[in-house]
């Protein structure tokens, strides 16, 4: 079983993935430079963010 942080919500926007706290505060963007979709946590420890972009 992988323990994922409950304090992180990811939201996809044009050319970026927003990191949002459960309280609704934007913690920061991850700029992708391309249209982004399908964001998920992965990897052996569940801490790697994986997303599609085109």
Kindly give, in sequence order, each residue whose CB lies less than 8 Å from that of residue 23, ignoring residues fewer than 6 positions away. Answer: none
Comparing 3 with 38, the larger pLDDT belongs to 38
- Residue 6 pLDDT: 60
Residue-wise pLDDT for 27-52, tens only, equals: 888 888 888 888 888 888 888 888 88
Q: Give the burial string for 29-41 (b: 16+ CB within 10 Å, else e).
A: eeebeeebeeeee
DSSP state of 33: S
Identify the bridge partners of residue 49 per DSSP, sorted by sequence position. 41
What residues does each domain of the chain span? 9-53
- Residue 4 pLDDT: 54
pTM: 0.62
Q: What is the mean pLDDT of the chain?
A: 79
- Residue 1 pLDDT: 47
């Amino acid at each position: 079983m992988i323990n994922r942080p409950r304090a992180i919500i990811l939201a996809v926007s044009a050319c970026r993935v927003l990191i949002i706290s459960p309280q609704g505060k934007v913690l920061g963007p991850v700029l992708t430079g391309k249209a982004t979709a399908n964001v998920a946590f992965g990897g052996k420890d569940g801490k790697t963010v994986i997303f599609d972009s085109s």
